[in-house]
Amino acid sequence: MKNESEDHFSINAIAFKEGDAWVIQGIEYDIVVHTYDVTAAPEAFMLAVIENMLITEHLGRAPFFRYFAKPESAEESIEELVVAASMLSAQRIGAIIAIERQIGLRNYIEGGIPLDGTLTYDLLLSIFQPASPLHDGAVIVRDDRVAAAACFLPLTVNPKLSKDLGSRHRAAIGLTEENDAVAIVVSEESGSVSVVADGEIERGLDADALRARLRTLVLQRRTGTPKGEAPLQYT
């Protein structure tokens, strides 16, 4: 039925005809690309179209390289985040910034106000000013850019958490319980800066500690902690 070459990806989907229409049912899929001989049966060409649709959808949710585009731009982005968090902390302006990693945050981005702006501390400060119409909710960072603002995140329902954690902290924990995002939270009440990953919160970070933690979470996740470097501990 088909003459195909195969790059290393594979998509699992069910496609069948219902009357005159094609019905496509996606399954949990890795990615695999087939190149079909379009001179084969029309069904083969249709499957190629279906696969392209599924690949596009999958890439939209979880690109291969999620953290930051290049190491050097990652360092610049981390510095912008650290400066913004420090300035927000000094002014006691509440904020929550979610950094997308391998698991896409498209649903939350689409639920907020799309920006697609260059990640700078000036932009973050502008967004979280109390008079800004975008200050309520989270900012989501994707690939060195501010993808969206005013995004609402799921609150954790963990009953073991401290009662003094506010809604921003609970939203950051709730988000990172569901996926591999990293969240930075600035407390409006105390100005304290926290980092949340994998549903765990680390509170009371100064600029140096925040910078080191973000480097670990964003840059070193693939390779692990460098030899001779002790894990960071915070109180």
Residue-level pLDDT at 159: 87
Q: What is the mean pLDDT of the chain?
A: 75
* DSSP string covering 94-134: -EEEEE--SS--HHHHHHSEEEEEE--HHHHHHHHSTTSTT
The answer to the question of residue 230 being in a domain is no
Residues 119 and 204 in one domain: yes
Residues 89 and 181 in one domain: yes
Domain limits for position 20: 4-61
Q: Which segments of the chain does DSSP mark as H helices, in order?
A: 42-61, 71-90, 106-111, 121-128, 167-178, 207-214
Summarize pLDDT for 26-57 with one digit per residue, the tens. 443 333 433 434 444 455 544 554 554 444 44
The answer to the question of residue 228 being in a domain is no
The answer to the question of residue 229 being in a domain is no
Residues 53 and 159 in one domain: no
Q: Specify the CATH number for the domain of residue 212.
A: 3.40.1700.10
Residues 175 and 215 in one domain: yes
Residues 84 and 188 in one domain: yes
Residues 22 and 125 in one domain: no
* DSSP string covering 26-45: E-S-----EEE-TTS-HHHH
Residue-level pLDDT at 27: 40
Q: Give the domain-ending residue among 61, 92, 107.
A: 61
The answer to the question of residue 234 being in a domain is no
Instruction: Say which residue the tokens 């496509």 belong to.
Output: 24
Q: Can you tell me the distance from the alpha carbon of 98 to that of 154, in angstroms, rounded to the nearest whole number?
A: 12
Residues 87 and 181 in one domain: yes
Residues 54 and 138 in one domain: no
Query: What confidence tier does 219 reach under pLDDT thresholds 50, 70, 90?
Result: confident
Query: What confidence tier does 67 reach under pLDDT thresholds 50, 70, 90?
Result: very low
Q: Can you tell me the distance from the alpha carbon of 137 to that of 127, in angstroms, rounded to the nearest whole number?
A: 10
Residues 133 and 201 in one domain: yes
Summarize pLDDT for 131-173 with one digit per residue, the tens. 999 999 999 999 889 999 999 999 998 888 888 888 999 999 9
Q: Select the highest-mean-pLDDT range: 17-21, 22-26, 125-129, 162-166.
A: 125-129
Number of domains in the chain: 2
Whether residue 62 is predicted with pLDDT greater than 50 in this model: the reply is: no
Whether residue 69 is predicted with pLDDT greater than 70 in this model: the reply is: no
- Rounded mean pLDDT, 14-28: 48
Q: At 171, list the tokens.
A: 């939203």
The answer to the question of residue 13 being in a domain is yes
Q: Which residues pair with 96 in a beta bridge?
A: 185
The answer to the question of residue 235 being in a domain is no
The answer to the question of residue 232 being in a domain is no
Instruction: Say which residue the tokens 């920006």 belong to.
Output: 115
Q: Give the domain-ending residue among 13, 29, 61.
A: 61
Residues 39 and 82 in one domain: no
Summarize pLDDT for 167-194 with one digit per residue, the tens. 999 999 999 999 999 999 999 999 999 9
- Rounded mean pLDDT, 13-18: 50
Residue-level pLDDT at 232: 36
The answer to the question of residue 66 being in a domain is no
Residue-level pLDDT at 89: 97
Half-sphere exposure of residue 222, counting CA atoms within 13 Å on the CB side?
10
Residues with Cβ within 8 Å of residue 112, at least 6 apart in sequence: 137, 138, 140, 148, 149, 150, 151, 152
pTM score:
0.66
Residue-level pLDDT at 19: 52
Query: What confidence tier does 58 reach under pLDDT thresholds 50, 70, 90?
Result: very low
Residues 80 and 49 in one domain: no
- Rounded mean pLDDT, 11-33: 45
- Rounded mean pLDDT, 84-101: 96
Residues 48 and 75 in one domain: no
